[in-house]
Amino acid sequence: MIRIILCIFILVIGTSYYSSYNVARSHSSASSIDSLPHDYPIHPVLFSDVRLTDRFWKPRIDRMYTVTLPHELDELRVTGRDRNFQLAALALETHVDTAHFCTQYPFDDTDLYKVIEGISYALMMHPDPLLKKRMDSLINLIAAAQEPDGYLYTARTINPLHPHPWSGLQRWENVEKLSHELYNSGHLFQAAAANFIATGDSTLLKVAIKNADLLCRTFGWGKLEKYPGHPEVELGLVSLYRVTHNPKYLQLAKFFLDVRGPGGSTYEQAQQKVVDQRKAVGHAVRAGYLYSAMADVSALTGDTAYVHADRYIWQDIVSTQLYVTGGVGATSNGEAFGQPYELPNLTAYNETCASIANVYFNQRMFLTTGDAAYYDVLERTLYNALLDGLSLRGDAFFYPNPLASMGGYTRSPWFGCSCCPTNLARFIPIVSGYFYATRGNEIYVNLYGANQAKIQLPKQIVYLNEQTDYPWSGTIRIDIQPEQTGVFTLKLRIPGWARNKPVPSDLYKFVNTSSASYTIQLNGQTLHPALENGYAVITRTWKKGDEIVLHLPMDVHVMEANPQVKADVGKIALQRGPLVYCLEWPDNPDHHVLNLIVNPHQTFTTAFKPNLLDGVEVIQGNALAARRTLSGRIETTPVHFTAIPYYAWANRGPGEMTVWMATDEKSVQPLPAPTLAYTSTIRASRPSRSLMAIHDQILPDSSNDHSVLYFHWWPEKDTTVWVEYDFKQPATISSSSVYWYDDHLTGGGCSVPISWQLLYPHNGQWIPVENITPYTTDKDRMNIVKFKPVHTSALRMIIRLSPDYSTGIYEWEVE
């Protein structure tokens, strides 16, 4: 007999769904108890106890049920992700290993797990027989693909003699690098826990327990002493521990933390023991999952060394590594954190999964401390970098989330590596779980939005009815309905941005600090409660019908970055409420925005546009549009601009966008001069939207400058490639220059080429120009070649790539 015992708390990564269950005692050596020996001091309120009624989050959650989850289920089938489980089950049944893993990555199994997790949450709020039927069919596939001893990894089971190249010939051989065997298990555990809680069906939970027991038999001190290359299993094991109360799962999670480092790769955060780490390094998603697991294990074991390290790491992120949108992971080279203050805009990576991981990390730090600074970062990430990953329609996504675009970015319905769409599918349904938390007789109000909440305190239930048009309006009305008159404390988070402090560091600041202050009224009377750790604290005897009205000033704030952020020098960004704004091409003159110069000291106006982008508040003002002339001069023209919330860009087709706006000619990117190269059509052996970079007239500081857009042929190498200008009309040319992209010394895949040559069309053939000076392949400068003049309609560059590296181009000029 399964006895379900509810314990308000975090269940799994990515959720504020916080239930622990004592499942069948046959799976647990722990005593049957209602609470765990150690845990976070603060308890999130279940997402299922907070029903959002607003016009901002509720429509997005509803589209999860009606659009996103059905769309992703279709993609699992079309791309063969479910087929992998069918093939694995067939191999186990027939003992014939002739099939091949039919998708690209060995972690593609997790896309099923994450969609199951998302559907499980959705079913708790929105019962849907068809969604449940489709989910159950996936669960049956997964169960059939599990090997007798509990191993579950289709990339090997389908054909053990020829597994996926990343997997290694033997189980666990590549677990510290690319196999993702343990990563897959972690997502399985989280999906299983969520599914059991949502449905009461233990089918997937039994699969997860069987797999976890295999891990417990295999890994540990004196057994196989290896750590997972991609953290995630630690969080999954914590989920199983919360559900089963079996301490061996928590002990294994702790082992996977303790066995990591020193002497390993920074990419996998294994350069030091985790308790000795003080800086955010390496792959940003792995980092966020690891730091979150450290907080979980610290809370559940009482060992504070892990969260002590987390505090240093968090401070490093918010002081030197955090984008103004709340995104993290500056570089595509390893999807990783960059150097301190390395925050490029055009090439910003900011993977959607990294934003989700950043939310997880910040929520756990809040649960540990009760400090609103963590929620200040969480809210910034949630409303900007994270939400940007999902289209307004709910069926297209961003993997990276740049802060500027020259038109090279479009949302995609799916990716070869589709971790981000499926991560959003399990995150968005439980957003309401981030709104409230409790500690004893205290209620934390962390996020704002119209909702109806049921909050359990030690001696009674308190019902809150919140009415607001947040984030468009700063007026929040909270009707308080305790079951009985009694004393408790209400803690209202006063966002840092409402106190003229955008982030809890000096990384960003408001240029135009607001003189208006937040106000709080109780039953019509103004209060001045004490502010503790970012919360207005109101302790009193509450009765039914009490009403709090919080008003947050919604001024337009002008932001500057710390001068050490080189990419943002001479630029500003705009913020209103929790939302960061951007300029996008459809709303602005001539469909260009990168060339606008904005006076930061002007008076900005705002207006709500109900028919624009599902309804948004826009910011409007004046600017100068800059254009470069052929003589090198910059000309400007007065124009009006319109800014939209950053999360809403790229829902109307590709084009220019920027968050950071120039304040003078030195920092602006003027429209290029109408040179021969700029007016030409570009073609290449590898089509790409980034081809536009090679004639944008922007030169980098070096051949490894990630703040400037470039075009590359990666992963091609040891071959001949080409790029071509087709001139608008025939011209006589006699010189050309190219600036190479080369990042191989910092672990990238591009180097300068072995050689290059220019050709022009003549009598139906491409023939070489007669060069007067040699073709050079130097880094960090323009490589100029002069040749005998030719009159031609096109010019082609052929490039011989290195045997070990690809190459790329920042700029190619022709004269």
- Backbone φ and ψ of 142, nearest 5°: -65, -45
What does the pLDDT look like over 117-127, one tens digit per residue? 999 999 999 99
Task: For residues 471 and 379, give the distance between their C-alpha atoms in angstroms, rounded to a whole number.
Answer: 11
Query: Contacts for 621-624 with beta carbons within 8 Å, 24 or more apart?
Result: 622/598, 623/596, 623/597, 623/598, 623/599, 623/661, 624/596, 624/597
Q: Is 412 exposed, middle or buried (0-12, 13-18, 19+ CB in 10 A)?
A: middle
Q: Where in the chain is the domain with CATH 2.60.120.260?
A: 681-814
- The answer to whether the CB of 464 falls within 8 A of the CB of 478 is yes
- Please report the pLDDT score of residue 24 as a whole number: 29
Q: pLDDT tens digits, residue range 59-93?
A: 999 999 999 999 999 999 999 999 999 999 999 99
Torsions phi, psi for 19 (to 5 deg): -115, 140
Pairwise CA distance, residues 182 & 526, whole Å: 55
Q: What is the pLDDT of residues 307-343, one digit of tens each?
A: 999 999 999 999 999 999 999 999 988 899 999 999 9
pLDDT of residue 301: 96
- The pLDDT of 730-736, averaged and rounded, is 96
pLDDT, residue 244, reads 94
Q: Which residue has the higher pLDDT, 570 or 1?
A: 570
Name the pLDDT band for 682 (thresholds 50, 70, 90): very high
**CA–CA distance, 269 with 286 (Å, rounded to integer):** 8
Return the minimum-mean-pLDDT range out of 520-529, 701-710, 766-775.
Answer: 701-710
The residues, ordered by sequence, that sit 6+ positions from 684 with a Cβ below 8 Å of its Cβ are: 691, 711, 721, 722, 723, 724
Q: What is the mean pLDDT of residues 478-507?
A: 97
For residue 2, pLDDT beyond 70 = no
- pLDDT exceeds cutoff 70 at 32: no
The three-point CA angle 342-345-347 to 5° equals 90
3-state helix vs strand vs coil in the chain, percent to 5: 30, 25, 45
CATH number belonging to domain 260-400: 1.50.10.20
Give percent of the chain above pLDDT 70.
96
What pLDDT does 48 receive?
Answer: 94
Mean pLDDT of 786-806: 96
Enumerate the CATH 1.50.10.20 domain ranges in the chain, comma separated.
260-400
Across the chain, mean pLDDT equals: 93
The Cα–Cα gap between 287 and 293 comes to 10
Average pLDDT over residues 676-695: 92
Alpha-helical segments (H) within 498-549: none
Could you tell me the maximum CA-CA distance found in the chain, to the nearest angstrom? Answer: 94
Average confidence (pLDDT) over 689-711:
89
Report the pLDDT value the prediction gives residue 537, as an integer from 0 to 100: 98
155-161 mean pLDDT: 96
Q: Give the tokens for residue 552.
A: 């947050």
Per the CB < 8 A criterion, the answer to whether 795 and 725 are in contact is yes
User: What whole-number distance in Å separates Cα of residue 506 and Cα of residue 561?
Assistant: 8
Q: How many CB atoms lie within 10 A of CB 340?
A: 14
- Count CB neighbours of 526 within 10 A: 9
Provide the CB-side half-sphere exposure for 361 (13 A, CA). Answer: 33
Number of Cβ atoms within 10 Å of the Cβ of 722: 17
With CA atoms as reference, report the closest residue to 489 among 532, 542, 554: 542
pLDDT for the residue 533: 98
Question: Residue 515's pLDDT is what?
Answer: 78
Averaged pLDDT for residues 410-431: 96
Phi, psi of 695, deg, nearest 5: -130, 25
SS3 48: helix
Q: Residues spanned by CATH 2.60.40 within the chain?
A: 438-551
Which CATH number among 3.40.50, 3.40.630, 2.60.40, 3.30.450 corresponds to the domain 438-551? Answer: 2.60.40
The CATH number of the domain covering residues in 681-814: 2.60.120.260
pLDDT of 13 strictly over 90 = no
Predicted confidence at residue 28, as pLDDT, reads: 34
E-state strands within 372-474: 404-406, 436-439, 442-445, 451-456, 461-468
Check residue 35 and give its pLDDT: 60
Q: pLDDT at residue 114 above 80? A: yes
